Amino acid sequence: MDTSILLALQNFREGAGGIFAEFMQKMTFYGERSTIIAIMAIIYWCVNKDLGNYLLLGFSGNRLLNGFLKITFCIYRPWIRDPRIVPYGNAIKTAGGYSFPSGHTMNASTLFGGLSLRKEVSKSGRVMFVIAVLLVGLSRLFLGVHTPQDVLVGFCLGLCMMFLTLKLTEYISRNPGKDTIVFCAGFAISVLIVVYSLLKKYPEDYDAQGKLIVDGAKMAMDSLKGVGYAMGIITGWYLERRLVKFNTEISLGKRISRGIFGLISYYAVCLIIAPVFKGLFPSVVGEVLSCFLQLFYVTFIFPLFMKVFEN
What are the φ/ψ torsions at residue 304 (nearest 5 degrees)? -65, -45
Find out whether 101 and 70 touch, Cβ atoms under 8 Å: yes
Determine the structural domain holding residue 282 and report its residue range.
2-310
pTM of the predicted structure, to 2 decimals:
0.93
CA distance 225 to 307: 29
CA distance 78 to 47: 40
Q: Which residues contact 64 (CB under 8 A, 6 or more apart)?
A: 189, 190, 193, 226, 227, 230
CA distance 191 to 171: 24
Q: Which residue in 13, 49, 63, 104 is the catalytic one?
A: 104
Q: Which residue in 146, 148, 194, 299 is the catalytic one?
A: 146
The structural domain count of the chain equals 1
User: Which one-letter amino acid corresponds to residue 46?
Assistant: C
146 is known as an active-site residue: yes
Q: Which residues contact 263 (CB under 8 A, 6 or more apart)?
A: 38, 41, 42
* Per-residue pLDDT in tens (0 to 9) along the chain, 311 residues: 678 999 998 888 888 777 788 888 889 999 999 999 999 999 999 999 999 999 999 999 999 999 999 999 999 999 888 889 988 877 777 777 789 999 999 999 999 999 999 998 999 999 999 999 999 999 999 999 999 999 999 999 999 999 999 999 999 999 999 999 999 999 999 999 999 999 999 888 887 787 888 887 788 888 899 999 999 999 999 999 999 999 999 999 999 999 999 999 999 999 999 888 888 887 788 888 999 999 999 999 999 999 988 77
**Is the C-alpha dihedral spanning 139, 144, 145, 147 positive or negative?**
positive
